[in-house]
Amino acid sequence: MITPSAQAPPVLTIAGSDCSGGAGVQADLKTFCAYGCYGAGAFTALTAQNTTGVEDVHPVPPSFIEKQVEMVLSDIDVKAIKTGMLFDAENTRAVVHSLNSHYTSKRKPPIICDPVCVSTSGHTLLHPDALEVLAHDLFPLTTLITPNKSEAELLLSQNGFPTFIKTVEDMISAASRMILVFASGAVLIKGGHINTSVEEIRSLEEKNPQIRVIRQGLLGDNMEILLISMERIDAAVNPGLVVDVLQERGGETTLFVRPRVESASTHGTGCTLSAAIACSLAHGNSLIGAVESATAYTHLAIETAKPIGKGHGPLNHLHSTSKTLIPSPTTRNPYPFTRYLINNTASSWKAYVEHDFVRLLGKGTLPRSAFNHFIIQDYHYLKYYSRAYGLLAAKSSTYAEIGSATQKVLDILHEINTHETFCQTFGITQEELESTPESTATTAYGGYMIDTGLRGYGEVGLWLKKEASKEGSWVLLENNPYKKWMDDYSGPRYQQAVKLGLDVIEGRALNDPPTPARLDEWRSVWERCTLLEKGFWDAAMEHA
């Protein structure tokens, strides 16, 4: 999360120009703006490029680079500096000389070096003779260097350590080697070109408990409701991951793990990440905090980008400047409002989804008396549920909204038919369903739902389904008397109904963004509904 201070700290980028606007100084300045920083820029080279590639590069004279840096630093109290494409040895020396000249007696601000060597399209952006100057003159001045896989391999190989990076473990070894070989304060190896998985990261953690792992954007516990199809559940259980490895000189290793985003909008990713780190440091954050913020910011900039150009398009640098409290939906996060609600009521939500009633039901050991009480009360509850959607249809102002609410009522009526058939298999007659009075929990929940909210059992069915898919699962499917109930609530028809409900609340939140007070009210409603839903399980267990 971007948390700028009250002031706009000045940040300087020393890098090349991208006339198409997606990388270089142009990308840096957009990132500075998004982070609430004042941006200054010294150009090292002009490029003729677009999203399809680099056509030509025109270097800026070294003396003029020094003059630009001198003019900025002599006038402005810069709080962080980042370097990008430096082009050749002479220009790299000019940058080193200008920094050393200015900070002879002053403490240098954090300096982030993005050792840009090759563009995404394969164009060489750093002359080979510049590598030695970069490694032996510039790196010792830096707080952090941010090579990608290819740049880390190149830098180590050029300094006598032939390296091939294919796994996350290789990245960790390479980062540790770079700390020993180069005098930088820390190294962040970017893992965009390395494929890994949840299982590989879990195994690595078990073998290396001293390594810190920061997970970003991955589904937390009890978020199966956000997936609504088995394909998505499988993808969430073991998604493709991107991992960045931070190695600090003190020996601490930190992994930043997030879902891989399949996108062609990746032009300027390295520039953006290093610029974001510089900004976060300028705001006074720790190095780990700065990298965590910057990796999350860059990930969302890729995920929310719209296609621009015919090749690798630019990131959406200004995604964080939106004033809404709820982010826009993305492919990876189609239900951001629901995710917010689950995250901010985590203990209540977990108590509901992983209730003893649900666990015993999954094991097939739930007492029949408890389930019979629940299933009869659920029959009464569904009347409230259908009336709530009828009320929503009455309040809707468009045919699409009326149709959506009406379809939900039809889904509930179908569920009632299934419900009655299921009850018969447990010896519960239609007369017993109608004559058994509502419990206090049912009446309280039903009345509250009519006034304020809508809910269901889709998340419980999906959680049991996910647990059942794990090797050696505690969930019993064979000869489980409650298997049909689990199948119904994790099946495609009910999950489509869940999706319909999610689409309704997400659409309302997106079209009518809440104020902080209103969002907190919505969170309270969600939590109250969750606790009332849990009350259903509690009441059933009292009859066990």
Which of 82, 190, 466, 534 is catalytic? The answer is: 190
The two structure tokens encoding residue 81: 């500096």
Single out the catalytic residue among 37, 271, 279, 529. Answer: 271
In one letter, which amino acid is 509?
A: A
Annotated active-site residue 269? The verdict is yes
User: In 10 A of CB 55, how many CB atoms?
Assistant: 11
Q: Give the single-character DSSP code of 8.
A: -
Q: Is 271 labeled as catalytic in the residue annotation?
A: yes
CA dihedral 191, 108, 156, 86 (to 10 degrees): 80
Q: Report whether 363 contacts 474 (CB < 8 A).
A: yes
Q: Which residue do the tokens 């954050």 mark? A: 285
* Beta pairing partners, 197: 240
List the catalytic residue out of 83, 146, 269, 304.
Answer: 269
Query: In a 3-state reduction of DSSP, which class is residue 430?
Result: helix
- Catalytic, 515? Answer no
Got the DSSP string for 166-228?
-SHHHHHHHHHHHHHHS--SEEEEB-TT--EEHHHHHHHHHH-TTSEEEE-S---TT-GGGT-
Residue type, 296: A
Q: Tell me if residue 408 is catalytic.
A: no
Angle at 63 between CA 60 and CA 67, to 5 degrees: 95
Longest Cα–Cα distance of the chain, Å, equals 93
Active site residue 507: no
Catalytic residue among 51, 266, 304, 530: 266
Coil, strand or helix: which one is 282? helix
User: Measured between alpha carbons, how far is residue 125 from residues 49, 114, 264, 292, 394 in Å?
Assistant: 12, 12, 21, 28, 62
Written as six digits, the tokens of 481 are 């008397």
Candidates 268, 313, 362, 458; catalytic one: 268
128: tokens are: 């080979």
The answer to whether 449 touches 455, Cβ cutoff 8 Å, is yes
Give me the amino acid identity at 202: R
- Point out the catalytic residue in the list 191, 192, 270, 501: 270
- CA distances from residue 205 to 149, 199, 390 in whole angstroms, order as listed: 21, 10, 50
Structure tokens at 283: 């705001």
Instruction: Give the catalytic positions in this structure.
Output: 190, 266, 268-271
